[in-house]
């Protein structure tokens, strides 16, 4: 009997705990989505402010080189670019395909990728991203 009571209590605690996890999961998911939207909006308004301070009428995406019209795109810091796992993947894939075609080995590719990533991190100017590449910086 005691054992049964105990298991009932345990079950009810687990149920409550489970409920808390569900609530927590929903909260985290919605806050991370809101956070992603907030970041995207911020990067967009940073880009708009940057365009207002330049005489350029168009630019190029710092990631894929596509043309960006005045007022468009997203402006990110070098740190935000260099710390993105999806950006690291992108650089790796891009370098691999180019360097393998040139007959270079894995070590040379890895060296080149880490050099490019540290250059990205140290870039003194912000990065502008097109509508497509911005997904690399969102969760």
Binding site for Zn ion (CB under 5 A): 61, 63-64, 66, 130, 133
As beta bridge partners, residue 59 has 68
- What gap in Å lies between CA 88 and CA 3, rounded to an integer? 54
**Shorter beta-carbon distance to Zn ion: residue 73 or 99:** 73
Closest contact distance (angstroms) between CB of 92 and Zn ion is: 17
Tell the smallest beta-carbon distance from residue 13 to Zn ion (Å): 50
Q: How far is the CB of 47 from Zn ion (least distance, A)?
A: 13
Beta-ladder partners of 69: 58
Contacts of 71 by beta carbon, 8 Å cutoff, 6+ apart: 47, 48, 51
What's the closest the beta carbon of residue 64 comes to Zn ion, in angstroms? Answer: 3
User: Smallest distance from the beta carbon of 42 to Zn ion, in angstroms?
Assistant: 18
User: Whose Cβ is closer to Zn ion: residue 94's or residue 111's?
Assistant: 94
Whichever of 76 and 130 has its CB closer to Zn ion, that residue is: 130
Is the CB of 32 or the CB of 69 nearer to Zn ion? Answer: 69
């Amino acid at each position: 009997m005691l054992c049964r009571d105990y298991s009932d209590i345990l079950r009810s605690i687990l149920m409550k705990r489970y409920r808390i996890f569900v609530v927590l999961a929903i909260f985290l998911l919605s806050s991370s989505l809101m956070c992603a939207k907030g970041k995207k909006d911020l990067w967009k308004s940073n880009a708009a402010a940057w365009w207002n301070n330049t005489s350029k009428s168009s630019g190029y995406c710092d990631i894929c080189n596509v043309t960006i019209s005045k007022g468009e795109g997203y402006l990110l810091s070098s740190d935000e670019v260099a710390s993105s796992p999806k950006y690291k993947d992108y650089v790796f894939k891009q370098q691999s395909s180019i360097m393998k075609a040139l007959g270079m080995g894995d070590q040379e590719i890895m060296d080149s990728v880490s050099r490019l990533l540290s250059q990205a991190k140290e870039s003194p100017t912000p990065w502008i991203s097109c509508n497509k590449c911005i997904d690399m910086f969102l969760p």
